[in-house]
Amino acid sequence: MFDHHHIVAILPALIPSTVMFWLHMWQRSMPFTTEVFQKEYDYIIVGAGSAGAVVASRLSEDPKVRVLLLEAGGYETFQSEIPMLAARLQLSEWDWQYKTVPQKYACQGMKNHVSNWPRGKVLGGCSTLNYMLYIRGNARDYDLWESLGNPGWGWSDVFYYFVKSEDNRDPDIIKNGYHGTGGRLTVSTPHYTTPIAGAFLEAGKNFGYPNLDLNGPQQTGFAVPQGTIRRGARCSTAKAYLRDTAGRPNLDTVVYAQVTRVLFNADKHAIGVTFDKGGSRHAVYARREVILSAGAIGSPHLLMLSGIGPRDHLESLGIPVVHDSPGVVF
């Protein structure tokens, strides 16, 4: 048992680490966003999530263009920094708190066969509340995208950007030629695995499956995946692409800005958006492009609110139809 002498001795030892922790938290909570925005930008990006934060950072590398990034949520929380606390962010203020419709063949162990559908409502989006597993899509999926009329989205095209964006901290994995160093997104191998993980890998070997790098030349096998973790803490796109590039005078990031509509001209070209912030509605305009990066639910939802979607559905809700597009659904 500790007596009061031990406690007195331990407290001074804890002070430096406590101070460093709160200094780190203060530094990362310093706002890099703005409450002041212009009426016109070259690019307006809706959603500062896994993709939107990256797009904003990349576009603003050109000092000649002005970029506005709008995020409906707010700042990250200290809980999002700690990998093991990821589950606590679900159904919180940092989550849109969506739920699925009742499922017939899935969610059998859940109440009413309904599952939570976590979606990040925060800078970094889902990269701020996910489980940080770093696993790229299968090469054939990207090639399929390209074959459907999307040039530049084949595996050979996107692989270059995977490598460019990555700062992999595992020298053994880097050797296979499928990873990069020096990019903005930190990727690392877990320093600790549980005994059951070891048994899992051994079981794979017994069935003839290799233990492999899931982002290497093949993806069929058993592995403990790498994660988007930097020095033991989460590396979200907000940290990698926004906080790490804070201070660019041509990038304005506005939080708690709920976009309500995309604005179109007579030629059906997107020219701006309206958004709600602080109890007021604002309109901003884009000289070049409006980029929707509001997620698999948010982007089609916003398109339909703006008059793009199935005509019958829009008219039933009293939304003026800008363009009849049956494929815009969620």
pLDDT of res. 31: 64
φ, ψ of residue 326 in degrees (nearest 5) = -60, -20
pLDDT of res. 21: 52
* Position 14 pLDDT exceeds 70: no
Containing domain of residue 252, as a range? 36-132+234-293
pLDDT of res. 192: 85
* Position 141 pLDDT exceeds 80: yes
Helix (H) or strand (E) holding 264: strand 258-264
pLDDT of res. 16: 46
The CA angle 106-112-115, to the nearest 5 degrees, is 55
pLDDT of res. 3: 54
Mean of all residue pLDDT scores within the chain: 91
Is residue 76 domain-shared with residue 209, that is, in the same domain? no
* Position 38 pLDDT exceeds 70: yes
pLDDT of res. 199: 97
pLDDT tens for 214-261 read 999 999 999 999 999 999 999 999 999 998 788 899 999 999 999 999
Nearest to 211 by CA among 219, 203, 223: 223
* Position 27 pLDDT exceeds 80: no
Q: Which residues contact 261 (CB under 8 A, 6 or more apart)?
A: 273, 274, 302, 305, 306
317 in a structural domain:
no
Nearest to 185 by CA among 137, 251, 238: 238
202 in a structural domain:
yes
Question: Of the ranges 14-18, 230-234, 258-262, 278-282, which one carries the lowest mean pLDDT score?
Answer: 14-18
Do you know the residue count of the chain? 330
pLDDT tens for 311-328 read 999 999 999 999 999 888
Q: How far, rounded to the nearest angstrom, does the alpha carbon of residue 65 sit from its chain's CA centroid? A: 24
Is residue 91 domain-shared with residue 240, that is, in the same domain? yes
pLDDT tens for 95-120 read 999 999 999 999 999 999 999 999 99
Is residue 286 domain-shared with residue 204, that is, in the same domain? no
pLDDT of res. 330: 64
Is residue 167 domain-shared with residue 50, that is, in the same domain? no
Q: How far, rounded to the nearest angstrom, does the alpha carbon of residue 9 sit from its chain's CA centroid? A: 44
Is residue 46 domain-shared with residue 170, that is, in the same domain? no
| Mean pLDDT to the nearest integer, 197-205 | 96
* Position 30 pLDDT exceeds 60: no
Please identify, among 174, 207, 227, the residue that sits at the C-terminal boundary of a domain.
227
Radius of gyration in angstroms for the set of CA atoms belonging to the chain, rounded to a whole number: 23
Packing angle, helices 155-165 and 139-147, rounded to 10:
130
Please give the tally of structural domains in the chain: 2
Q: How far, rounded to the nearest angstrom, does the alpha carbon of residue 42 sit from its chain's CA centroid? A: 23
CATH code (residue 128): 3.50.50.60
Is residue 159 domain-shared with residue 195, that is, in the same domain? yes
256 and 73 in contact (C-beta within 8 Å)? yes
Is residue 138 domain-shared with residue 125, that is, in the same domain? no
304 in a structural domain:
no
Residue linked to tokens 């595992």:
170
